[in-house]
């Protein structure tokens, strides 16, 4: 029969794995009596774990949040996931880099040797992208997120705007190293994205609001459309098709979210999008190869305009 301490750890692990546990099920999983389960639950309570009890024939136990953070148990895969997440947290732009590194040190110190070896083999060099935005104040991030969760109108100063803004905050999201608030702007009567590093919340929050349906259906679709300059969907506003005089292997490393298909050993059909036709031209010209435009006509016209500009630039006129 397992010792009391190992049994309590097993019980704690079960309580952490899901919200509610009937007492009889816990007793069966631990191969003990329900009376033993009750005693072990009482011992965990004495250690600071807040475990509530549901009365009745189907009564059971639930591990709830308490005033302090008690010791936690993680299985091997959870420990690896947390360690990797803490290593990349320094590039998240949320102003928690130092705290993440301290937490990583605390976690590694108590890891068994088998896990420590796995983690040391997974050391990640987290690198901030050049020109990345300054870290967001964690207090601002929490305030904005709390307003979104509570569905309360957020009042805030924004950048260099003279007047305070009023918006219904719906989602806090990250995009390429920056934090954004997706909200319905009450003064402009439209959806907007706000950079969280430019937000200075005002207190108190405004009244509660009913959630609105986000354009595109979800945050990913909406933000993709916004940053591609397409308010009506997630695709690029301008998409064209060309044949590039290079083999597929030389095109693929730079195709981005385009589509490349080999026509033969020396030619590749490329479908590429951008926020403008000139942008599509620029994406294709990076290959420094012969190009044949398959369509549409707007792309052919853009190539002609860009060619004229390039000719003038080359002649210095």
| Residue-wise pLDDT tens digits, 289-305 | 999 999 899 999 999 99
Distance CA(241)–CA(273), nearest Å, equals 9
CATH architecture of 238-315: 2-Layer Sandwich (3.30)
Mean pLDDT of 59-77: 71
Distance CA(99)–CA(84), nearest Å, equals 14
For residue range 242-258, list pLDDT tens digits in order. Answer: 999 999 989 888 888 78
At residue 58 the predicted structure's pLDDT band, cuts being 50, 70 and 90, is low
Sign of CA pseudo-dihedral 136, 142, 147, 148: positive
For residue range 20-52, list pLDDT tens digits in order. Answer: 888 888 888 888 888 888 888 888 888 778 888
Range with the largest mean pLDDT of 56-60, 71-75, 179-183: 179-183
pTM for the model stands at: 0.57
CATH architecture of 4-63: Orthogonal Bundle (1.10)
The residue that leads in pLDDT, 108 or 241, is 241
* pLDDT given at position 132: 58
For residue range 160-173, list pLDDT tens digits in order. Answer: 888 899 999 999 88
| CA 244, chain centre distance (Å) | 35
Residue whose tokens read 């207190």: 203
At residue 179 the predicted structure's pLDDT band, cuts being 50, 70 and 90, is confident
* pLDDT given at position 102: 74
Distance CA(164)–CA(199), nearest Å, equals 10
Concatenate the DSSP letters of all residues of 176-196 into one string. TTEEEEEEEETTTTEEEEEEG
**pLDDT beyond 50 at 66:** yes
Residue 199 corresponds to which tokens in the numbers above? 């937000």
Residue 191 corresponds to which tokens in the numbers above? 């959806």
Q: Around Cβ 147, how many Cβ atoms within 10 Å? A: 23
The residue that leads in pLDDT, 111 or 281, is 281
* pLDDT given at position 17: 72
| Percent of the chain whose pLDDT exceeds 70 | 84
The residue that leads in pLDDT, 94 or 150, is 150
CA atoms within a 13 Å half-sphere pointing along the CA-CB vector of 231: 4
At residue 1 the predicted structure's pLDDT band, cuts being 50, 70 and 90, is very low
At residue 235 the predicted structure's pLDDT band, cuts being 50, 70 and 90, is confident
Q: Which residues contact 28 (CB under 8 A, 6 or more apart)?
A: none
Give residue limits of the domains in the chain. Answer: 4-63, 76-121, 138-228, 238-315
């Amino acid at each position: 029969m397992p010792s009391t301490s190992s049994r309590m750890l097993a019980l704690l692990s079960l309580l952490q794995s899901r919200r509610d546990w009937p007492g009889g099920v816990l007793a069966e999983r631990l191969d003990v009596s329900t009376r033993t389960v009750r005693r072990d639950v009482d011992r965990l309570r004495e250690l600071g774990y807040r475990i509530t009890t549901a009365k009745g024939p189907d009564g059971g136990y639930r591990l709830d949040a308490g005033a302090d953070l008690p010791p936690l148990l993680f299985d091997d895969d959870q420990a690896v996931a947390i360690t990797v997440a803490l290593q990349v947290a320094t590039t998240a732009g949320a102003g928690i880099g130092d705290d993440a590194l301290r937490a990583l040190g605390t976690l590694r110190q108590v890891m068994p040797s088998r896990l420590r070896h796995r983690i040391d083999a997974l050391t990640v060099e987290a690198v901030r992208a050049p020109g990345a935005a300054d870290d967001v104040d964690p207090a601002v991030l929490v305030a904005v997120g709390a307003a979104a969760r509570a569905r309360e109108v957020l009042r805030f100063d924004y950048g260099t705007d003279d007047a305070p803004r009023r918006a219904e905050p719906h989602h806090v999201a990250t995009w390429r190293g920056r934090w954004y608030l997706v909200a319905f702007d009450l003064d402009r009567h439209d959806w907007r994205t706000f950079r969280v590093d430019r937000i200075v919340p005002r207190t108190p929050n405004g009244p509660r609001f009913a959630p609105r349906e986000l354009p595109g259906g979800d945050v990913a679709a909406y933000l993709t459309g916004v940053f591609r300059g397409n308010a009506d969907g997630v695709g690029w506003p301008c998409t064209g098709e060309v044949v590039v005089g290079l083999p597929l292997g030389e095109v693929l490393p730079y195709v981005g979210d385009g589509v490349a298909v080999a026509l033969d050993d020396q030619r590749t059909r490329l479908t590429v999008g951008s926020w403008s036709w000139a942008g599509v031209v620029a994406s294709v010209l990076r290959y420094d190869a012969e190009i044949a435009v398959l369509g549409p006509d707007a792309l052919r016209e853009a190539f002609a305009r860009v060619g004229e500009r390039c000719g003038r630039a080359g002649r210095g006129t």
